[in-house]
Structures are given as C-alpha cells and as structure tokens.
Amino acid sequence: MRERRSYNKAIPVQMKVRISMYDFEHFPDRRSTESVKWGFFPADVLPMWVADMDFVSPPEVIAALQERVEHGVFGYPMVTKEMKEVVVQRMAARYAWKIDQSDILFVPGVVPGFNLTCQTFAGAGDSIVMHTPIYPPFLEAPQHAGAERIEVELKKEPSGRYEVDFEAFESAIKPNTKLFMLCNPHNPVGRVYEKVELEKMAEICLRHGLVICSDEIHSDLVFSGHHHIPIAALSDEIAQQTITLIAPSKTFNIAGLECSVIICKNHDYKKKLETARRGLMGGVNLLGLVAGLSAYRDGDTWLKELLVVLEGNRDLVVDFIRARLPEIKVYAPEGTYLAWLDCRSLQVEGESCEYFIKQAKVALNNGKEFGAPGDGFLRFNFGCPRPMVLEALERMEQTLHQ
C-alpha cells in the first residue's frame, strides 16, 4: 500500500486548488486542539465522520473573538438587541421569513433545543414521530422525555433520492402523538425538502394537532438548484404550531462555541419552553455570542465562497464513486456537507465501517447509528480541503480493488 499523506501538515503546492479569496486549502493541526473528530482515531486514520469542517472560520469571526479575549474580563453574558436583530434580518433576507425579536430564544445547542422541545410538549404516555434514517440524537430525544419513538422510513427511490411516504407518515400517527421532529436540510440523506413536500407534512401535522420541531441547522448549506424554506414560513397557521432551531455553528464552523437559536412565533409555546428549562439549561456562553453575532453579521462573503468549495467537493465525491467505486451507490446531496453512501453491495468481511477504518484508514459514520434503515450505509463528511477528500476516496478505492 502506498505511503499515506499527513493532513497535520500544509497541503503540498502541487495539490492546491485556488478557487477562493479565502484559504480553503490549509488547516492547522487539529489533533492537539481537543477535537473529537481528530482525536478519537489513531493518527494514521483520516477522520471523515463527525460533522464539523476542517476549514478555519471566517477571519471576521476570529478577529471579533480576539478583540473580546484581549478585553480580559469574561463575566456573565447578555443577549443583546443587536444579536436578536441580526437573526431577524437574516431570516428576512435569506428566506423571506418575517419574525420578531420577541420570537427568539437562545440555547447552547440545537440538540439541547430539540430535547427541551420534546420534554416540554411530550412525556410518559405520549409519542413522538420522525423520519428515518435520521441524525442519532433525534432517536434518543423521545426516550429522554419518557415518550415513545415512532419511526417512519423515508422512501429510497431507484435514483437514490429519498422521498417522504406521506401515507405511511400519517398512518403512523397515534392519538397520543404530540410532536413531529423534522430535519431539513436532512442529515444524513442530504435532502432539501421542496415547498410541496413541506406543505404536505405541515398539513398532516395540523390536522392531527402535532407540534412541529424543525431542526434547520444546515439551512445555510444548500447547493445550486435548491432553496431552503423554513417550514414555519409557509403560513401563520403553521408558524403557530412550529418550533424552529437554527445555529451559525455548522455554517461557520464554530460548533464548539455553542450558540443556537429557537424561533417560536407562538408565545404560549415559547413561555412553556422557558419554564421547562427549570434552571437546568443555561444560555449561550459569552464567546459563543460574540462569534455568532460576527458570523451572521459579517460572514456571508466567506459563506458564499465556502459553498463553491463544498459543491465542488460534493461533485468530486459523487463523480469519483460512480466512476471508480461502482459497488457503492450515492445520490448527490442537495444540502449539508455529508454524503450518504449505500454500501450494501460491498463484499467485505464484517461491517463496511470497520473495514474501511482498519484496511483503508478512513473513518466514516456507521449508517445503522441513524436508525434501522441506515444499516449498510456510511456517512462521508466532505467538509474539508479537496485533497483530503480525494485521499480518502483513493484509499477506499485502493483497499477495495487491491
């Protein structure tokens, strides 16, 4: 097997792909930075798993953090009107969604946010419905609330595109079902749901009186030909039944700073959420607020160029797999920086996830962690410099075809 490249070093000059005024080619050594992604596996394993990116955050965000750290006093933070107004303006500018500052509640993360929502609106004797495969913390949230989890499998079309089975979705709803957990853009299958799909899901939920909890953390990461629509933006009636969760964390690679937003236009619901915190869930930390404000206010030029890089990486993954790894099936994700690989036809010893870790030295997420329909699939994170994406794919190819 040929020598492995080290991705703790700068990418060699001959491998550079200059497509941006920002540097999306290099990244610092993350193994010494308390990184789960880079610290979990041995140093010779390329980590293409945990959903954070290997790009330095926007320079504006870094400058804002440096200025705040230089101040030297880190007392209790307060969410400012400016921070709330930036969120209001962003929803209007990007999604034509009119919200008010009073609709906003800050929380440490989207996962705590949807767990808070589950525990506010469901409990023992209730049920919560969701589509699978799904981001693993979704699967755990009903249990944390003491509720039953109802899974409805997404339909996988021959093209590889996933669709909602609306008949199965409505049939699965029980009299005790209180909540629908939506993930849009969808992790891990990469769908960006279209307006007609969202309308059908919302109509079913309204008819059955379900609260909609919509995780839209990847809403900024959508590729050409697709457009994110917040489900709550469809109508005032739907907005009154919906709790939306967003964050700058995935978009601007600041997940470790823990700054997320709940948008809830139903103020009775919002009051219930605030009460349910019960002193157990704090707010956003000081540096998270600083980074989040700068990202939303000043980071969109960086984001525009990031999307060019990510779309190129996505195309590389899809084209490479179709041409050189035909045993694996993939549908081009419409959003996120995550590719969902169908490895069910691979003839390898043991699970494909463990096989690639041991033989190719490439770590991907095991699809069965996303629910039963994910068994035999792998999730591939392409949010990194392009040569690293190519190296991971070549390692997989060499291992399978040696």
Whether the per-residue pLDDT at 344 is higher than 60: the answer is yes
Task: For the sheet with 148-153, list strands across it.
Answer: 104-107, 260-263, 242-246, 211-215, 177-183, 127-132, 148-153
What's 328's DSSP letter? S
* Amino acid identity for residue 212 in this structure: I
- Determine contact, residues 191/161, Cβ cutoff 8 Å: yes
Average pLDDT over residues 368-392: 97
pLDDT of residue 20: 61
Residue 194 has a CB neighbour count (10 Å cut-off) of 13
Helices 110-121, 136-145: inter-axial angle, 10-degree rounding: 30
Q: Which domains does the chain have, with CATH numbers?
A: 13-57+300-401 (3.90.1150.10), 66-298 (3.40.640.10)
The rounded percent of the chain whose pLDDT value lies above 90 is: 92
Report the distance separating Cα 47 and Cα 36, nearest Å: 10
- Determine contact, residues 69/291, Cβ cutoff 8 Å: no
Give 102-146 pLDDT, tens digit per residue: 999 999 999 999 999 999 999 999 999 999 999 999 999 999 999
Asked whether the bond before 133 is cis by omega within 30 degrees of 0, the reply is: yes
pTM for this prediction: 0.94
Report the distance separating Cα 129 and Cα 124, nearest Å: 15
Question: Tokens 């794919």 correspond to what residue?
Answer: 393
Q: Helices in 277-343 by DSSP H: which ranges?
A: 286-298, 300-324
Tokens of 210: 């379900």
* Mean pLDDT over each residue of the chain, to the nearest integer: 94
Give 4-34 pLDDT, tens digit per residue: 554 444 333 334 444 568 989 887 789 989 9
Whether the per-residue pLDDT at 192 is higher than 50: the answer is yes
DSSP reduced 3-state for 5: coil
- Determine contact, residues 65/248, Cβ cutoff 8 Å: no
Q: How confident is the model at residue 1 (pLDDT cuts 50, 70, 90)?
A: very low
Report the distance separating Cα 30 and Cα 21, nearest Å: 23
